[in-house]
Amino acid sequence: MKLTQPIRLTMVGGGSWATALVKILSENNVSVKWWLRKASDAEHIRKFGHNPSYLSDVQINTRKVKVCTKIRESFKDSDYVILAVPAAFISDALRGLKPDHFTGKSVVSAIKGMVPEANQLVTDWVSEHYNVPNERMSVIAGPCHAEEVALEKQSYLTIASQDTDRAEDVANLLRCRFVQATPVDDIYGIEYSAVMKNIIALACGITRGLGYGDNFQAVLVSNAMQEIKRFVDAIYPKHRDLSGSAYLGDLLVTAYSPFSRNRTFGTLIGRGYTIQSAQAEMNMIAEGYYAVKSIYEINQQFGVDMPITEAVYKILYEKAAPTGAMNVLKEVLT
């Protein structure tokens, strides 16, 4: 459905995904206030219509997109807020805002990570800190890399909300020449699954870095799907088909694409980089690094069998040698 009234939207975040989403929204009748934290990046976008730090080939339509570095100002008068910073930085990004600033707004998380200090999904954290009712929250999921959006490659998003009319409204903002968007209601299942596929991508990267091949990765990914299902069903029991693109599709793109931040980070670890040197090597954030700690800790209460998550946790947080941890894992995969 074409948007007849202009929609006013706040985009929070200046990285690759925020830039790609701004590009998608600019295809529609949406006027965007785009919050970034770096004044120099904001100034560059205003002057030249490109983000100098991420996806710098993307042309920003500065008639529709107004850039600002003051978070309160960016929230003024908008109907929708899209959150697109890594989960570890969400509290930094929203500092200075109070629950009143969220009143009446539809809040959309495009984040696929856990808030580390709280071990919470982003939607739970936002609801708790800013009193946003669950039915006003939604998430953007699906196998979709920012780099391919920049190239206008055909892509698919899934929008999940407890309120499916709201999910449809958000989907409608994002449908364009090269993006299809489908509304669904399994917000928690999809949000957890999107977090966990990043941990699996780390494992895929680590094994690649160690020299394992496609035969092993196929087994790793199919075991991973079962691990995700066990965990998500334990936390939010609901009938769900995990072969859908928001679950399996997102796992596959992250596990196999050279664009994947998590897979790249894992590959560096498998090759022997330290965590600090792998982080320094990448200009981008691998959410799985934070997520594996949260999911591992949450699972201490649930006791779900999660050998892949445990192997990645031990490598990243207990200094286990990748070779040894993967030797243990390979014995339990089937």
Ligand X SMILES: O=C(CO)COP(=O)(O)O
Binding site for NADPH: which residues? Answer: 16-17, 37-38, 54, 112, 146, 261, 285, 287
Q: Which residue has the tokens 């499916």?
A: 164
**CA 166 → CA 24, 283, 284, distances in Å?**
19, 34, 31
Q: Which residue has the tokens 């680590």?
A: 206
Pick between residue 15 and residue 183 the one whose CB is nearest to ligand NDP.
Answer: 15
User: Is residue 284 involved in binding ligand NDP (CB under 6 A)?
Assistant: yes
Pick between residue 79 and residue 147 the one whose CB is nearest to ligand X.
Answer: 147
Q: Which residue has the tokens 């072969």?
A: 243
Pick between residue 163 and residue 186 the one whose CB is nearest to ligand X.
Answer: 186
Q: Among candidates 31, 38, 39, which has minimal Cα distance to 11?
A: 31
Distance CA 241, CA 288 (A): 23
User: Is residue 23 involved in binding ligand NDP (CB under 6 A)?
Assistant: no
Distance CA 227, CA 233 (A): 10
Nearest-approach distance from CB 136 to ligand X, in angstroms:
23
Interaction with ligand X in 21-60: which residues (CB under 6 A)? none
Per the annotation, binding residues for substrate are 112, 261-262
- Applying CB under 6 A, among 7, 9, 18, 268 the residue interacting with ligand NDP is 18
**CA 240 → CA 204, 233, 305, 329, distances in Å?**
25, 9, 20, 27
Q: Which residue has the tokens 């939207």?
A: 9
- Applying CB under 6 A, among 110, 137, 174, 232 the residue interacting with ligand NDP is 110
- Applying CB under 6 A, among 10, 11, 17, 267 the residue interacting with ligand NDP is 17
Nearest-approach distance from CB 241 to ligand X, in angstroms:
19
Tell me, what amino acid is at 59?
Q
Pick between residue 84 and residue 132 the one whose CB is nearest to ligand X.
Answer: 84
Pick between residue 54 and residue 313 the one whose CB is nearest to ligand NDP.
Answer: 54
Residues involved in catalysis: 197
Q: How many residues bind ligand NDP (CB under 6 A)?
A: 27
Which of ligand NDP, ligand X, none binds 89 (CB below 5-8 Å, type-dependent)?
ligand NDP
Q: Among candidates 164, 168, 36, 170, which has minimal Cα distance to 106?
A: 170
Interaction with ligand X in 255-294: which residues (CB under 6 A)? 260-262
Which of ligand NDP, ligand X, none binds 116 (CB below 5-8 Å, type-dependent)?
none
Distance CA 146, CA 19 (A): 8
Q: Among candidates 299, 302, 292, which has minimal Cα distance to 325?
A: 292
User: Is residue 38 involved in binding ligand NDP (CB under 6 A)?
Assistant: yes
Query: In the Cβ-directed half-sphere of 242, how many Cα atoms lie within 13 Å?
Result: 25
User: Is residue 250 involved in binding ligand X (CB under 6 A)?
Assistant: yes
State the DSSP string of 81-116: EEE-S-GGGHHHHTTT--GGGGTT-EEEE---SEET
Please identify, among the stretches 69-77, 283-291, 304-312, 323-331, the one whose residues bind ligand NDP according to the rule CB under 6 A: 283-291
Tell me which residues touch ligand NDP (CB under 6 A).
13-18, 37-38, 53-54, 84-87, 89, 92-93, 110-113, 144-146, 284-285, 287
